[in-house]
Structure 1
């Protein structure tokens, strides 16, 4: 995942903005110009953490409140970023317009939609699954699901088309952040697995079937992207230190697919439609989902282990970049998939592994959060020549 477009052609030196603390004073208006789409990596990861806390198997008194606070913080942060993006569009329209046609930033547009997906998932978990479950909220979530399904699919179509037709860079480079385009549609399937079991049978059936289709669509795109990532690593070697957290992104493709398939199978309404006519279907699909999930889990672990080794080799030498948030969101999926496999197998050992992974996610979130605040304060990001828009 490129947080600075290092693999893209650079502008001529005389056209580049002065950088860092040696640059003239930059006010709020000047800094808003450099609030890029990559900032939504922070909200999709924060929202993902709230989901992981809600689903962790070993809970203690007050954990629900902690997770709810993180979710509300995520909502506030998402709102703030949306306001900054709106201000950027109004104050720097031409610069903002280019964010859709330059791969270094445009690939990160998917993180905006992913942030919405985890908000919907958190509303489900804290408002319905483990919350009051008001009928109006259940109906609202159903509407939000279908709106997100339509918008995420439209985005996955238009974003690739815009880059193919109007990219500011030729050839259009493949960057690990390209995963986010397919991820935004793929998370429709994950949301479906969270909400279907609490919807009326008719709605649940439609959500499960559509979610399965979306999950397959996103996973296949991610599988293609994974092949490109491995090919690029073989040809070009390891990326710069600050870009290496992006290598965790492929972990989430298989992991969220495990979550989606097992969750969808468990949410099947046995007395409705196709499933009423085929009473054995739910049991069969639950078995297929579990063993299909186990089949995918080791591949996700393999990618995870490689990413850990690659990042551990530069520990202490990695300057902060917004890609640090990639330490969290993909591994939320990996944690949830581990927990779901443990629940299905009734394995307390696997469930404890999932709980430890959740605790590690909290620790890593704090590292990323402190690093992010510090980088803003020290003018290392949201500053001329420092962000994903520096090649424009």
Structure 2
């Protein structure tokens, strides 16, 4: 070490180069890649007009998503083990903390695809394994959905209305996504009592996420009316309200369908409860879908009006919200059944 170099300079340079720099600057926003990749694999696996070749592509993308998630999780754990002080800074940051919701949502896409492609050939053990993973995902979703808004509202430095973006929905939508995943997990469980508990827990998750998301959407609409469009770097975030609306629609429809099957088997409430929940789920689902159509029109109109906007990590906001809105559209087409909704979902 030369006389000009101090220990502080050496220590700082070591953490600002190489793999340490990557680990130190790795934020939760990277899990949005899992969300986007995961919803693509789910769509290719469940589209109404599908082919065997699309099924195999969905498997490849599913494996790619698992690799992404494993790598991102390893880097995240390494980040907070090596730099534990960063966690406190991150969780109180007005922007970075919002992306904590992408972790359970990215994991939920893996849970869904595991149910679709792995449980049938691997048996009951795989079903109980993925149910345990879903329980973990649901707990994390609740902690994030309630904890992050609480932390943000208790910060010493206030947040102006003009600074609010649709990213405020990210921690809240995690509960809505977990609820939809719960309906899929319940369908593959061999034990009907555990399946019933999963459905009821999923209704609770849906009840936490969707009303809270509606409140944030109202605030976000107020922000747009008062301060116009967000900066061009955040412009793609106008698609984010499609997330809770599309996934909320898909989830409540799937939960109603699951309740229609599980409630009579377990003797829960009256004999007609399952049918009532199924019909109510479809009605609520199509209303949420219609509200999502409004936001889709506003988002597309915003991009047409802006014409040019820079490429950044926020572009993943195109993929997951549009993807879950598509799953809601296709589910409506399956339940009616309706060629219109099925073709629209394919488009």
Regarding TM over 0.5, the answer is yes
Partners of 1:201 and 1:168 lie apart in 2 by 48
- Residue 160 to residue 291, structure 1, CA distance change in 2 (3 Å): closer
Matches within 5 A, 1:353-364: 353-356=344-347
Matches within 5 A, 1:88-127: 88-127=79-118
1:273 matches 2:266: yes
Q: Aligned-pair distance for 1:96?
A: 4.5
- Residue 169 to residue 338, structure 1, CA distance change in 2 (3 Å): same
Q: Aligned-pair distance for 1:314?
A: 3.0
Match of 1:40, SS state, is helix
Q: Aligned-pair distance for 1:337?
A: 0.5
Matches within 5 A, 1:299-314: 299-314=291-306
1:222 matches 2:210: no
Q: State whether residues 92 and 151 of structure 2, in contact with CA within 8 Å, keep that contact through their aligned partners in structure 1.
A: yes
Q: Aligned-pair distance for 1:270?
A: 4.5
Any stretches of 5+ residues in structure 1 without a counterpart?
A: 1-24, 357-392
Q: Give the structure 2 partner of residue 289 of structure 1.
A: 281
Q: Aligned-pair distance for 1:84?
A: 2.4
| 1:182 paired residue among 167, 172, 180 | 172
1:137 matches 2:129: no
| 2:330 paired residue among 336, 339, 346 | 339
Q: Give the structure 2 partner of residue 194 of structure 1.
A: 184
The CA RMSD measured in Å over matched residues stands at 2.0
Instruction: Spell out, residue by residue over 1:66-86, the C-alpha distance to the aligned partner (whole angstroms, 9 max, x if none).
Output: 111111111111122222223
Q: Aligned-pair distance for 1:35?
A: 1.9
Q: Aligned-pair distance for 1:235?
A: 0.8
Partners of 1:169 and 1:321 lie apart in 2 by 27
Matches within 5 A, 1:3-152: 26-128=17-119, 131-152=120-141
Larger helix fraction of residues: 2
Q: Aligned-pair distance for 1:301?
A: 0.5
Partners of 2:140 and 2:18 lie apart in 1 by 35
Partners of 1:84 and 1:313 lie apart in 2 by 39
Q: Aligned-pair distance for 1:322?
A: 1.0
Tell me whether 341-350 or 219-228 shows the greater mean CA deviation.
Answer: 341-350
| 1:248 paired residue among 227, 239, 256 | 239
- Residue 189 to residue 26, structure 1, CA distance change in 2 (3 Å): same
Residues matched between the structures, number: 327
Partners of 2:280 and 2:113 lie apart in 1 by 27
Instruction: Spell out, residue by residue over 1:256-300, the C-alpha distance to the aligned partner (whole angstroms, 9 max, x if none).
Output: 11111111111122533344x622222222222112212221110
Q: Give the structure 2 partner of residue 326 of structure 1.
A: 317
| 1:171 paired residue among 139, 159, 162 | 159
Partners of 1:104 and 1:134 lie apart in 2 by 42
Q: Give the structure 1 partner of residue 10 of structure 2.
A: none
Partners of 2:80 and 2:194 lie apart in 1 by 38
Q: State whether residues 242 and 325 of structure 2, in contact with CA within 8 Å, keep that contact through their aligned partners in structure 1.
A: yes
- Residue 238 to residue 171, structure 1, CA distance change in 2 (3 Å): closer
Partners of 2:280 and 2:49 lie apart in 1 by 26
Match of 1:146, SS state, is helix
| 1:161 paired residue among 134, 146, 150 | 150
The TM-score, its normalising length taken from structure 1, stands at: 0.78
Match of 1:107, SS state, is helix
Partners of 1:157 and 1:300 lie apart in 2 by 24
Q: State whether residues 156 and 185 of structure 1, in contact with CA within 8 Å, keep that contact through their aligned partners in structure 2.
A: yes
